[in-house]
Amino acid sequence: MTISITTIPAPYRAGFASLKRLSPETFELLVTSLEQAPIAGGLKVLAASVVKRVSVLNEGEIRDILRSVFSLSVFTTDEDTPLTENIANLSSAMQASGRPELALSDAEKTEFEKRLGRLLTLRTVAISSKAQRLKLEYPVTFYDAAILTDMRPIFDKPDERPLGCAVSHTLQITYHEQGDHKEFFVALDDEDLEVIKKAIQRAEAKRTGVKSLLKAANLTDLS
């Protein structure tokens, strides 16, 4: 597998820019905090743990940095290209981006590559990024949901007072598919709401059972 890096995708620019700006003292504190953090199953949990130890950064900044570093975890499994070469390609793409926040002088380029190399080889980062990637390795992933409720008047004659109203619901599902943000709508009645409620309750019960099995087997819950 050979990885080609020519551009910096928009979701990761803020994280790389923040990593570049960190003072040496703050970066060392970040590394130490990540080394001491418990093994976590994804970005949010790891960031919440680290922010308690790195008070000079807020949780949003730490999430941005980890999100960008997590996106590079595939580098560590690239058997055709050394990690240092992949990181050098990334920093070159930053220099060529034309964005001031990503610009790197020669000295900054060397330091930035060292920082990325250290972060990518931390055990907590490697395991958390792998767990995050495995949780999202589906063609379609859920993003958000809403249920809209409508009242539709029922008329006997158009020019007279309505006889009553029919209550209906519309389920809106927002999801990600191959990098695109999409949504669809499904009409529901009251019975459909009960079906969805029971399905969620069953899933919650099964989740509790599975988590109990993990605990009994002394396995870390990385979900």
Q: Can you give the residue ranges of every domain in the chain? A: 10-135, 140-216
Residue 193 has pLDDT above 60, yes or no: yes
- Predicted local distance difference test score (pLDDT) of residue 5: 63
Per-residue model confidence as pLDDT tens digits over 47-66: 888 998 898 999 999 999 99
HEC sequence for the chain: CCCCCCCCCHHHHHHHHHHHHCCHHHHHHHHHHHHHCCCCCCHHHHHHHHHCCCCCCCHHHHHHHHHHHHCCHHHHHCCCCCHHHHHHHHHHHHHHCCCHHHCCCHHHHHHHHHHHHHHHCCHHHHHHHHHHHHHCCCCEEEEEEEEEEEEEEECCCCCCCCCEEEEEEEEEEEEEECCEEEEEEEEECHHHHHHHHHHHHHHHHHHHHHHHHHHHCCCCCCC
- Predicted local distance difference test score (pLDDT) of residue 64: 94
Residue 101 has pLDDT above 60, yes or no: yes
| Lowest mean per-residue pLDDT among 38-52, 159-173, 188-202 | 38-52
- Predicted local distance difference test score (pLDDT) of residue 39: 81
- Predicted local distance difference test score (pLDDT) of residue 2: 44
pTM flag (> 0.75): no
- Predicted local distance difference test score (pLDDT) of residue 35: 93
The mean predicted confidence, pLDDT, of the chain is: 87
Per-residue model confidence as pLDDT tens digits over 136-180: 677 888 889 999 999 999 999 999 999 999 999 999 999 988 768
